[in-house]
């Protein structure tokens, strides 16, 4: 059977995929599986975290909320639960995740595995919601990690790329169920960047999308619903995952045109923005319906988190570098905020960040674009998103992430034979 990630860039031909029925089967069979062992979620990471000549472990059968307590906000969930499934199950129990990213196709384990995040001042990644993890180690031992575990283990395990074991259960700290009001509108880029501090402080969640060859941005904000949003349209149910929306089809067509006729990139981006500039888009609804957006036109992505104080300047420099190199691209850059945390491998370890994401159309080689942007992001003391393409080596990561070496030591202690290490991950994490 062959396996490939969402973008199609990472492929495992003749893959052996083990799909345990339950955690008992996983515990029993783990010691005998062919290595390297790579747990997989929905395959939405762009980096080669999964490809293997050993065994891909698919825990999609471990799905659903196990228990939830609306009073404490604590919910224990099977780790293979897709966020799309998790949202309504939490909502039925009076809870919502405090924040989410652009899509809800990921599994909980996969999202935590790479530190997936949304935006919003004061809001951390999904890993920061995790209060406890049950994982099965390389030898089949069941291990529970929580705030009482020694050596700050919870902060090591809350973002672990599947290097410490296979997560089977996760305890999350959720918010009481809430509704959100979403607004998207076009602004001049210079104006939005000048006001970014006030904008980010004024809204629960705020982010910018900037087509690099146009001088306007899309500002998207999300706020708790109040009486002032009473006449905003209700959100429609989410389209089935993998449904191509009209926007996806339009993006594919525009991206294909730029691929073959790069000189039209600026006029296409300006036409798209002209079209959006006419109207302010608004909707309201339950948080789990508002956070995700359909994203089915395939792309590859790079993302770095840079210190919040230089986020705006770094975004401007990245756009300038792309323009100077005149690289063809359709997708807008995405600019978000991410709260600092204490998670060992987190790009936001010890500092508040802004994240800058660059996307290239799936069929187009991403390197010409990413090679232009990455030095700018690295020079800004950027740290890469683990699920998104980057060229950092072990020495670079060790220099940028204060707890990187401690993570490697813990990894070696829990998996001394390196059963979870593929060649890619061995280069990054083996001593």
Ligand X SMILES: Cc1cc2nc3c(=O)[nH]c(=O)nc-3n(C[C@H](O)[C@H](O)[C@H](O)COP(=O)(O)OP(=O)(O)OC[C@H]3O[C@@H](n4cnc5c(N)ncnc54)[C@H](O)[C@@H]3O)c2cc1C
Q: Which is nearer to ligand X, 24 or 267 (CB)?
A: 24
Residue pointed to by tokens 């302010």: 280
Please give the structure tokens belonging to residue 261: 């006729």
Number of residues that bind ligand X (CB under 6 A): 32
Instruction: Output the smallest distance, CB 167 to ligand X, in A.
Output: 4
Question: Is 366 a residue that touches ligand X (CB under 6 A)?
Answer: no
Question: Is 97 a residue that touches ligand X (CB under 6 A)?
Answer: no
Binding residues for ligand X restricted to 21-60, rule: CB under 6 A: 38-45, 49-50, 59
Question: Is 397 a residue that touches ligand X (CB under 6 A)?
Answer: no
Q: Which is nearer to ligand X, 81 or 269 (CB)?
A: 81
Stretch that binds ligand X, among 110-118, 206-214, 361-369, 407-415 (CB under 6 A): 110-118
Question: Is 347 a residue that touches ligand X (CB under 6 A)?
Answer: no
The helix or strand, by DSSP H or E, that contains position 367, with its residue range, turns out to be helix 367-379
Q: How far apart are CA 289 and CA 108, in angstroms?
A: 17
Query: What does the DSSP 8-state code read for residue 72?
Result: T
Stretch that binds ligand X, among 69-77, 103-111, 180-188, 370-378 (CB under 6 A): 103-111
- 356 and 301 in contact (C-beta within 8 Å)? no
Please give the structure tokens belonging to residue 287: 């948080």
CA atoms within 13 A on the CB side of 338: 36
Instruction: Output the smallest distance, CB 29 to ligand X, in A.
Output: 15
Q: Which is nearer to ligand X, 215 or 401 (CB)?
A: 401
Q: Are strands 37-40 and 55-58 parallel, antiparallel or unpaired?
A: parallel
Question: Is 84 a residue that touches ligand X (CB under 6 A)?
Answer: no
Stretch that binds ligand X, among 69-77, 108-116, 258-266, 372-380 (CB under 6 A): 108-116
Q: Which is nearer to ligand X, 168 or 318 (CB)?
A: 168
Q: Which is nearer to ligand X, 238 or 264 (CB)?
A: 238
Nearest to 170 by CA among 243, 230, 106, 120: 106
Question: Is 311 a residue that touches ligand X (CB under 6 A)?
Answer: no
289 to each of 120, 126, 214, 283, 327, how far by Cα in Å?
17, 17, 30, 10, 35
Q: Which is nearer to ligand X, 211 or 420 (CB)?
A: 420
Burial state string for 193-211 with b = 16 or more CB within 10 A and e = fewer than 16: beebeebbeebbbbbbbbb
Stretch that binds ligand X, among 106-114, 141-149, 277-285, 324-332 (CB under 6 A): 106-114
CA angle 314, 318, 322 (to 5 degrees): 170
- The correct pick among 26, 138, 157, 161 for binding ligand X (CB under 6 A) is 161
Quick count: other Cβ atoms within 10 Å of Cβ 3? 20
Question: Is 79 a residue that touches ligand X (CB under 6 A)?
Answer: yes
Q: Which long-range contacts (CB under 8 A, 24 or more apart) does 412-416 make?
A: 414/137, 414/138, 414/164, 414/165, 415/137, 415/138, 415/163, 415/164, 415/165
Instruction: Output the smallest distance, CB 44 to ligand X, in A.
Output: 3
User: Which residues, in sequence order, are bridge partners of residue 300?
Assistant: 360
Question: Is 117 a residue that touches ligand X (CB under 6 A)?
Answer: yes
- The correct pick among 20, 87, 98, 101 for binding ligand X (CB under 6 A) is 101
Question: Is 167 a residue that touches ligand X (CB under 6 A)?
Answer: yes
- The correct pick among 111, 181, 290, 343 for binding ligand X (CB under 6 A) is 111
Q: Which is nearer to ligand X, 37 or 72 (CB)?
A: 37
Q: How far apart are CA 3 and CA 51, in angstroms?
A: 8
Instruction: Output the smallest distance, CB 234 to ligand X, in A.
Output: 23
- The correct pick among 9, 283, 295, 400 for binding ligand X (CB under 6 A) is 295
Stretch that binds ligand X, among 109-117, 201-209, 236-244, 318-326 (CB under 6 A): 109-117
Torsion sign, CA atoms 334, 335, 338, 343: positive
Nearest to 337 by CA among 184, 123, 186, 190: 123
Question: Is 6 a residue that touches ligand X (CB under 6 A)?
Answer: yes
Binding site for ligand X (CB under 6 A): 6, 38-45, 49-50, 59, 79, 101-103, 106-107, 109-111, 113-114, 116-117, 161-162, 166-167, 295, 385, 387
């Amino acid at each position: 059977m062959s396996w490939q990630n969402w973008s199609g860039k990472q492929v495992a031909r003749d893959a052996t995929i083990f799909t345990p029925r339950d955690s008992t089967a996983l515990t029993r069979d783990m010691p005998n599986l062919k290595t390297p062992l790579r747990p997989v979620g929905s395959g939405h990471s762009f980096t080669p975290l999964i490809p293997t000549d050993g065994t891909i472990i698919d825990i999609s059968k471990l799905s659903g909320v196990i228990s939830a307590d609306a009073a404490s906000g604590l919910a224990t969930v099977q780790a293979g639960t897709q966020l799309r499934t998790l949202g309504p199950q939490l909502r039925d129990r009076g809870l919502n995740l405090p924040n989410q990213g652009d899509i809800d196709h990921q599994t909980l384990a996969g999202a935590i595995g790479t530190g997936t995040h949304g935006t919003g001042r004061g809001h951390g990644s999904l890993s920061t919601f995790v209060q406890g993890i049950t994982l099965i180690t390389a030898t089949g031992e069941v291990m529970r990690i929580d705030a009482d575990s020694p050596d700050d283990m919870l902060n090591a395990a809350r973002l672990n790329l599947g290097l410490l074991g296979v997560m089977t259960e996760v305890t999350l700290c959720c918010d009481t169920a809430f509704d959100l009001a979403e607004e998207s509108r076009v602004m001049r880029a210079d104006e939005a960047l000048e006001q970014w501090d006030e904008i980010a402080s004024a809204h629960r969640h705020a982010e910018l999308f900037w087509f690099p060859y146009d001088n306007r941005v899309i500002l998207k904000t999300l706020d708790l619903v109040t009486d002032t949003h009473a006449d905003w349209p209700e959100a429609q149910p989410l389209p089935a995952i993998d449904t191509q929306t009209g926007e996806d089809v339009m993006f594919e067509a525009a991206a294909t045109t730029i691929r073959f006729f790069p000189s039209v990139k600026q006029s296409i981006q300006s036409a798209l923005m002209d079209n959006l500039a006419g109207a302010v888009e608004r909707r309201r609804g339950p948080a789990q319906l508002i956070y995700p957006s359909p994203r089915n036109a395939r792309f590859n992505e790079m993302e770095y988190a840079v210190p919040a104080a230089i986020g705006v300047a770094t975004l401007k420099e990245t756009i300038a570098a792309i323009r100077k190199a005149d690289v063809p691209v359709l997708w807008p850059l995405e600019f978000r905020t991410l709260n600092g945390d204490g998670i060992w491998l987190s790009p936001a370890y010890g500092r508040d960040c802004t994240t800058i994401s660059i996307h290239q159309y799936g069929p187009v080689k991403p390197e010409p674009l990413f090679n232009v942007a990455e030095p700018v992001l690295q020079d800004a003391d950027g740290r890469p998103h683990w699920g998104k393409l980057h060229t950092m080596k072990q020495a670079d990561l060790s220099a940028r992430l204060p707890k990187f070496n401690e993570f490697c030591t813990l990894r070696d202690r829990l998996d001394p034979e390196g059963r979870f290490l593929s060649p890619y991950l061995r280069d990054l994490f083996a001593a």
